Chain A
Amino acid sequence: MTSDAAAPPHQRAGVPVPRETPARRLSVLLSRAPRVRLGLLLTAPLFWLGLVYIAALAALLVTAFWTVDSFTGTVSIEWNLDNIVTVLTGAVYQAVTLRTVGVAILVTIIDIVIALPIAFYMAKVASPRMQRVLVILVLMPLWASYLVKAYAWRSVLSEGGLIDWMVTPFGGNTPGYGLHATVITLAYLWLPYVIMPIYAGLERVPDSLLEASGDLGAKTWRTLRSVVLPLLWPAIIAGSIFSFSLSLGDYITVNIVGGASQMLGNLVYTNVGAANNLPLAAAIALIPIAIMIVYLGLVRRTGALENL
């Protein structure tokens, strides 16, 4: 083996001599030039993401500075800050932005609080067999249509619906539709997206660390706080990116269970459709973009983006 390993490939025993085909030569060339290899790997994806997505985002940004001709209803290229000023100073936009961010934060907190114990049970307490069953149980609702689930909550919360039926004997009433119904439904919809990264994060925490912490005298809470939580932080943030971002842009759930409440998504939607004011819609859409960029920037260093 010693002399064999030092010999060039075609003299080693048992390794057939590669034929000198053009494909072979290309392969040799590529393995000597990692930069070229990297370039070939990245060309298609970057082309796609750059051309389709970044260009579209940039165009959106530019559109926000244009106006709609109030007479013909077409977008005209007339550079001004009107839309941005409208969005930043308009009382409606400020109120709706605050409401939307509030809903998104509340939904995220509810989801994390619910997801933590469940993910912990799945990853650290349940038997392997049980674990598999639980993962399926958590993932399966994702396949039921988003709309149907929102609609299911509409029916659960409706007058004469399930909750009404359950609480009426005790003199209660269904909470009905509104902002609270929106929060409940959104938290329900995004829960699996929060559980899964946290569960995956907990799976990566070795049991030996927990045992070591216990052996060193730490009580359960102390172990959770000083060992588990710091390791789990990126996974929690990864989950929060989903629930926060998904809530921030939602306009359909609020249509179904929100009563008359409006969120940022509704404003964007009506301005693209009914009001036919794409530049204003673009300006409104810059609000969630700005919020998400700040958020992603803040959490980037935690390594959360690798846990999505």
Chain B
Amino acid sequence: MRLSRPARITLGALTIAVLIVVYVPLFVVLVNSFSTSQSLVWPPPGFTLEWWGTAFQNRGALSALWTSVQVASLATVISLVLGTLVAIALQRHSFFGRQSVSLLVILPIALPGIVTGIALNNAFRTILGLQLGFFTIVVAHATFCIVTVFNNVQARLRRTGTNLEEASADLGAGLWTTFRLVTFPQLRSALFAGGLLAFALSFDEIIVTTFTAGVGTTTLPIWIFQNLFRPNQAPVVNVIAVVLVVVSLVPIYIAQRIAGAERVPK
């Protein structure tokens, strides 16, 4: 199939148009973070750096940010371990119920967040009698983060095949040695990509979090939601959003570099 020149240009123009629509609201957030107006007036009546100054001294926001980092890190570590285990089990073994296990992994993300949220809320509170807090959030987040790691690792295992692992075993390496020296290096970038997605997913999650956080624990999204409609806090929210987007460039760039370096030439 040869695409004609007009077709290529149309596709390119469409892509650019959609990207513009995608970035305009983010641009509005950026501009509003410098706006003297606290309501949503466009164009902004004046320029100020006040919000950028106060944002970095806002204790509530900073402690919520720290909570979110901790929750997301723990959830990512748990989902890395569990996701890799399931992926190896499903990709390297065939057994009865394999399809069901794969469905089970997908289910927490395939079902709407509100379902996961209320189910876990009910289970933690009514059935197990636990106090909602930091660890119930971690458990909830890890549950729906497993799938991102699982998908990345499974795709990688499918692509690499078993030749190298078999060669390693033939050369006398034990299971652990083979995993450490052969399988793991092949999985490394898939684990990074999956872990990154898991972290992002957990970091930004609000629906399941509202149901599993209780009153004492505030993650960044919960803090944002509490402050979004307060006139003197909304500009600070804009600042935080801008910082997050800019900071997120680093891991995305690294992930892309790794994926690009490993790509087999077509």
Q: Which residues of A contact B (CB under 8 A)?
A: 9-10, 15-18, 23-24, 27-28, 30-31, 34, 37-38, 41-42, 44-46, 48-50, 52-57, 59-60, 63, 75, 114, 117-118, 120-122, 124-125, 128, 132, 134-149, 151-156, 158, 160-162, 164-165, 188, 191, 207, 210-211, 213-214, 218, 220, 223-224, 227, 241-242, 245-246, 248-252, 256, 264-265, 268-269, 272, 278, 281-282, 285, 288-289, 292, 296, 300, 305-306, 308
Contact = CB atoms under 8 A, between A and B. Distances in A.
Highest count of chain A CB atoms <10 Å: which of B172, B211, B234: B172
A63 B220 contact: no
Given A27-B174, A45-B86, A162 B42 contact: yes
Contacts of B19: 137-138
B253 A136 contact: yes
Given A151-B237, A220-B3, A281-B118, A292 B95 contact: no
B252 A140 contact: yes
Contacts of B176: 23, 27
A141 B23 contact: yes
Contacts of B183: none
Contacts of B170: 9
A15 B171 contact: yes
A38 B127 contact: no
Given A15-B172, A27-B176, A45-B146, A158 B40 contact: yes
B194 interface: no
Interface in B6-27: 7-8, 11-12, 14-15, 18-19, 21-26
A288 B46 CA distance: 46
B183 to A, nearest CB: 12
Contacts of A49: 82, 104-105, 108, 143, 146
Given A121-B11, A155-B32, A114 B249 contact: no
A28 B174 contact: yes
B221 A147 contact: yes
B111 A152 contact: no
- Identify whether the interface residues of B are mostly helix, strand, loop, or mixed: helix
B29 A152 contact: yes
A65 to B, nearest CB: 13
Given A188-B25, A220-B1, A252-B225, A207 B82 contact: no
Given A16-B172, A141-B26, A156-B28, A134 B7 contact: no
Highest count of chain A CB atoms <10 Å: which of B28, B43, B123: B123
B244 interface: yes
Given A207-B266, A308-B147, A214 B1 contact: yes
Highest count of chain B CB atoms <10 Å: which of A147, A227, A265: A147
Interface in B32-77: 32, 39-43
